[in-house]
Amino acid sequence: MIAHTPLDPATLSPAAQKALGPGPGRMMASRGMMPLPPADQLAVLYQLSIDGDAGLAEAAKKTAAGLPEKLLAGSLSDGSLDPRILDFFGTLHADKPAIFDVLVQNHAIADETIAALAGKADSRAVDMIATNEQRMLRHPEIIAAMYMNRRARMSTIDRVVELAVRNNVRVPGIAVWDEVARALTGGTTEGSDDAAFVAVVEAVSGDDSKLTAGDAEQVLPEEELNAPPPIDELDQKSIRNLSVPSKIRLAQLGNAFARAELIRDPLKIVALAAIKSPGVTEIEAARYAGNQVLPEDVIRYIAMKREWTRLYGIKMSLCRNPKTPISEATKFLPFLREKDLTLLSKSKGVPSALVAQCRKLLMQRGGGKK
């Protein structure tokens, strides 16, 4: 949301300026005890809520939060209200449908406020925001907030994403935007089932510590790297039956179990969406780095992500995965321990060029024979 900075007193009415002036009137105003026109009361409560006097600020916030819904909804429809005031009351009352509707329809509200509301609104409220196409195209962060709001209907998301793609608008804040857009332009736009998507998200939103716990500095055993995800068969089938756009979004909203299934999807754009998910942990990356059944593009993405490749376990897993680009694997070899270099130098499962480089490094360290 926008910054709650003080209003310019010169822009306030004489009555509001008087309420904010020195003396006991300020405390009365903070408690809603001073008779003021609706717009003035909102401005005064906002101004006092950010006052340096903690007592005044707390009293003003309490009064603002307790204003009658009908009265407040009528007051917030005033198009002359400062966007900061609308943002302040939106933060406090956006969960009330009548107030939310008035806020969204007020042309004075800031786009940043709408984006913040879109990220936590229910499906009905998101649908209402989605009707203003001009605003979404002007401030695509609204679309990003909708996308990451698990309560937003998948059909609504499909519609607003298509709007952005059709108008050549790139949406910031979605790590997998390229995959999202490609799903629409690549002929994989089959209709999404809202109920099916909600059911899958709920099914894979529980404890995923079995897949996220561990130490990525340690080298994981190969059988663990290539093991199928421990996911319920019914959930697995439900995920596979989702539309491609739904799978890509699930990769962003679901837990590690969902990602472990989606990263093995036959479609590369789905697998890439899974590895690019903001929820991927280091230990997940370590498991994926050594998994030889995953697409080469997924392995390449891991190999090029510095936050992950600083970890020893990930370096080693990438080096012993034949799908890791040689140019990337050779960068990690100098950082490997001698015992691991020795194992790689004898491996028949990695490219011969990498084996040769391992032997060269071992000789340089004095651990190899001519």
Asked if residue 212 belongs to a domain, the reply is yes
What's the rounded Cα separation, in Å, for the pair 101 and 90? 10
Domain housing 361: 337-370
User: Looking at the structure, do residues 343 and 312 belong to the same domain, yes or no?
Assistant: no
Q: How confident is the model at residue 47 (pLDDT cuts 50, 70, 90)?
A: very high
Say whether pLDDT at 235 is over 90: no
Say whether pLDDT at 184 is over 90: no
Per-residue pLDDT of 246-291, as tens digits, reads: 999 999 999 999 999 999 999 999 999 999 999 999 999 999 999 9
Contact by Cβ (8 Å): 305, 240: no
Q: Does the predicted model carry a pTM greater than 0.85?
A: yes
Asked if residue 64 belongs to a domain, the reply is yes
Nearest CA among 312, 265, 321, 266 for reference residue 289: 321
Say whether pLDDT at 201 is over 80: yes
User: Looking at the structure, do residues 310 and 263 belong to the same domain, yes or no?
Assistant: yes
232 vs 3, more confident: 3
Asked if residue 310 belongs to a domain, the reply is yes
User: Looking at the structure, do residues 326 and 353 belong to the same domain, yes or no?
Assistant: no
What's the rounded Cα separation, in Å, for the pair 367 and 336? 13
User: Looking at the structure, do residues 269 and 304 belong to the same domain, yes or no?
Assistant: yes
- Region 310-329: what's the mean pLDDT? 94
Per-residue pLDDT of 155-176, as tens digits, reads: 999 999 999 999 999 999 999 9
User: Looking at the structure, do residues 203 and 272 belong to the same domain, yes or no?
Assistant: yes
pLDDT over 70 percentage in the chain: 94
Asked if residue 162 belongs to a domain, the reply is no
Boundary residue ending a domain (74, 109, 144): 109
Give the pLDDT score at 226. 67
Asked if residue 169 belongs to a domain, the reply is no
Give the pLDDT score at 368. 46
User: Looking at the structure, do residues 200 and 316 belong to the same domain, yes or no?
Assistant: yes
Q: How many domains does the chain have?
A: 3
User: Looking at the structure, do residues 212 and 253 belong to the same domain, yes or no?
Assistant: yes
pLDDT over 90 percentage in the chain: 79
Q: Which of 11-25, 29-43, 208-222 has the lowest mean pLDDT?
A: 208-222
Rounded mean pLDDT of the chain?
91
Boundary residue ending a domain (109, 124, 155): 109
Boundary residue ending a domain (73, 94, 109): 109
107 vs 202, more confident: 107
Give the pLDDT score at 191. 62
User: Looking at the structure, do residues 229 and 351 belong to the same domain, yes or no?
Assistant: no
Give the pLDDT score at 162. 94
Asked if residue 61 belongs to a domain, the reply is yes
What's the rounded Cα separation, in Å, for the pair 216 and 347? 22
